[in-house]
Amino acid sequence: MIELSDIHRDFQVGDQKVHALDGVSLTIGAGEYLSIMGPSGSGKSTLLNLIGLLDRPTSGVYRLDGQDVTALSDRQQAEVRNQRIGFVFQAFHLVPRLTAAENVELPLILAGVPPVQRGQRVEQALAAMSLSDRSRHKPEQLSGGQRQRVAIARATVMQPTVLMADEPTGNLDHKSGQDVVRILEQLSSNGITLIVVTHDGEIGRRARRQLHMLDGRLESDSGTGNA
Amino acid sequence: MALATRDIVRFGWGALRGYPARATLMLIAMAIGVGAVVVLTSLGEGARRYVSGEFASLGTNLVIVIPGRSETAGISPTTLMGETPRPLTLQDALALKRSYSVHRIAPLNIGSAKVNWQGRSRDVVILGSSSELLDLRHWSMAQGHFLPPVDLERAVPVAVIGKKIRDELFGARRAIGEWLRIGDRRFRVIGVLATAGRSMGTDVDEVVIIPVASAQQLFNTESLFRILVEASSRAAIGPVKQYAIDTLQERHQGKKDVTVITQDAVLATFDRILGALTYAVGGIAAISLAVAGILIMNVMLVAVSQRTAEIGLLKALGATPRQIVVLILAEAMLLSVLGAGTGLLLGELGSLLIRHLFPILPAYAPLWAVAMALLVALFAGLLFSLLPARRAARLDPVLALSGR
Ligand SMILES: Nc1ncnc2c1ncn2[C@@H]1O[C@H](COP(=O)(O)OP(=O)(O)OP(=O)(O)O)[C@@H](O)[C@H]1O
Ligand SMILES: [Mg+2]
């Protein structure tokens, strides 16, 4: 359960203030499938980063499962990110020197999960992405679609409640992009809360709930599809 | 959320291997620093031990009386050259013998003469001394006996020869009992000295030793070159020195015209000088370690900015600031440990080489220097990677991931 009320995020650029988010209030229920669309610079990524606790609002209150998370320390926020939030990025952000399996293992290492349990969980996460036979491959030996699936395995290996994807198909061809969307929707139907930022109207319209942003504000909200 | 040590090391090792050029550079810098400390201090320590050993081979608890006065009461070139402003006599030596604290006494006369046996001859350094010289200098005999313990004033015509003299004059034949001609006198060979190596400039293998009274006649002189006095114990060295000064002043009509040095004082001086030298080279080498540390800092700063995206990713995956610090520090420490280990190995190989090239130098790096080098290396590695690690921990993950 995500509750944002009157969130502002200002950036100081030189002596000019940029209002990247200008009073956003939004409630997202557990298990929702939501897309955020809008022109470039409208604040989509900024909003996603705030929800994902990678950034802090200039003002406003953000409650995650009833808890005011803006008041948490950096360390506590890191723990929330580790346990409850998964990220998928446009640029994949796999560590190039690590194999697919080692990349997926990273969140488990940070969480202090003992090695014996890690192997099994990594295997399961990769198997769910049909990548079992690629576990020892380095990112450079994988196609774009495979890389993004490794990234999704990594984002889900901790079994988070929220999965955020910022332009997850932006660097992929049409076919791989569709595969990735199908996988994300599969996860959503298994109960995860899915938030996808996209430029691609075709992908955005597949979400049950669609948000449009303009100049740091929510311009339209198709409303809670199910909550 | 605590990271397992194994995971930290594995991650750091992977990161290092990901940038081999950078890692190698730092490793070399660290290795050179540690290696330099080890090699240089082993050299200094080797020199110190060599000089100490040389002095120790002179004898134990020695007090040396030299004719002529040294203003500084230390060693000056004139006293060491043995110039004789006023002679030191056999009677002086005998007078010194009277103290209970004096264990042995050996008057010393030195000169050069032609030694001849059945037509073979060569110039040899002749030492005139007493029977007690043998034990005082810790020498031993290869064959026969040393000078007989007779009255110092008796000129007995006997000679003890060094090994090389025996080989050159007698070859394989038996030397004991043969009569040598030294200068214009005849001496019977009664013993051959065992090799004792060089000590303080005289090669024991190449001397001929005769009774001091005989030497005085041979060189037609009353005066002695030195009087070597062995105190009965280490504690007695001071009193014996004072006794020698007082006794000789009394015998020389109240004039302080001799110099008395103790082996201890000379040794202590050399020890201090060479010890300071070891510290100095150690210090210089430690500076190179600090330089290595600064290099580490810069390289780690570059590493952090090179890996901005990776650090941002780790944060997104839930790494706490502390975990980031630990990972970056571990990476630098891993390098420091490897570098220090390599340096230690190179340093020890270096001092092995020195010992091989100069066998007389016991070039072993002192333990304190090795420990210091390792500690400083690890400490420098830790200290200088703190700043880069902190910087990494403070990275804004949004900026890091967007590459802006
Ligand atoms: N760190 C920053 N410093 C200054 N301005 C920023 C920063 N981050 C974002 N902005 C500004 O905030 C506004 C919103 O940016 P944001 O990245 O959220 O847009 P977006 O909707 O994700 O755009 P796109 O579709 O191009 O990714 C933009 O005007 C951007 O220039
Ligand atoms: Mg964006």
CB B11 to CB A95 under 8 A?
Answer: no
Residue A65 has phi, psi (to 5 degrees) of 50, 40
* Residue of chain A with shortest Cα separation from B311: A95
Domain stop point among B233, B251, B286: B233
Q: B119 with B184, same domain?
A: yes
| B259 assigned to some structural domain | no
Residues B391 and B272 in one domain: yes
To test ligand 1's pocket by mutation, which of A7, A10, A19, A45 has the most ligand atoms within 8 angstroms of CB? A45
Give yes or no for residue A20 CB within 6 A of ligand 1. Answer: yes
B158-179: per-residue pLDDT in tens?
999 998 899 999 988 898 999 9
Please judge whether B321 and A87 are an interchain contact, meaning their C-beta atoms are less than 8 angstroms apart: no
Among B225, B202, B203, residue whose Cα is nearest residue B212: B225
A79 to chain B: nearest residue by CA? B318
**Does residue B242 form part of some domain?**
no
Residue B184: inside a domain: yes
Q: What is the pLDDT of residues B85-139, one digit of tens each?
A: 568 888 888 888 888 888 999 999 999 999 999 988 889 999 999 999 998 888 8
Clarify whether residues B174 and B118 are in a common domain. Answer: yes
Dump pLDDT digits (tens) for B275-307: 888 788 778 777 877 788 888 888 888 888 888
pLDDT digits (tens, 9 = 90+) for B21-56: 888 888 888 898 889 888 888 988 888 888 777 777
Report all structural domains of chain A as residue ranges with CATH numbers, in order of start. Answer: 2-221 (3.40.50.300)
Q: Which residues contact B93 (CB under 8 A, 6 or more apart)?
A: B105, B107, B152, B224, B227
Nearest to B323 among A95, A97, A110 (CB): A110
pLDDT at B83: 47
Question: Which residues of B make CB contacts under 8 Å with A?
Answer: 1-4, 6-7, 11, 14-15, 17-18, 309-310, 312-323, 396-398, 401-403
Q: How close A100 comes to chain B (CA, Å)?
A: 14
B310, B315, B398 member nearest A95 (Cβ)? B310
Chain B residues whose CB is inside 8 A of the A98 CB are 14
Give yes or no: residues B49 and B118 share one domain: no
Residues that place a CB less than 5 A from ion ligand 2 = A 45
Question: Of the segments A163-172, B249-258, B291-300, which one has the largest average pLDDT value?
Answer: A163-172
Identify whether residues B228 and B105 lie together within a single domain. yes
Is residue B293 domain-shared with residue B211, that is, in the same domain? no
Same domain, yes or no: B229 and B108? yes
Residue B91 lies in a domain: no
Query: How many folded domains does chain B comprise?
Result: 2
In a domain, B121, yes or no: yes
Whether B44 maps to a domain, the answer reads yes
The interface predicted TM-score of the complex, written ipTM, equals 0.94
In a shared domain, residues B110 and B28:
no
On average, the pLDDT of chain B sits at 85
Dihedral sign of CA atoms A113, A119, A125, A131 in order = positive
The distance from CA B316 to its chain's CA centroid, rounded to whole angstroms, is: 60
Domain that holds residue B128: 101-233
Helices (H), B132-178: 133-136, 163-170
Determine, yes or no, domain membership for B59. no
Task: Please compute the mean of the pLDDT values over residues B231-252 and round it to a whole number.
Answer: 87
The neighbour count for residue A72, using CB atoms within 10 Å, is: 16
In degrees and rounded to multiples of 5, residue B227 shows phi and psi of -120, 120
Asked if residue B249 belongs to a domain, the reply is no
Rounded to the nearest angstrom, the minimum Cα separation between B343 and chain A is 28
Q: How many Å apart are CA B116 and CA B159, to the nearest integer?
A: 13
- Calculate Rg over the CA atoms of chain A: 17
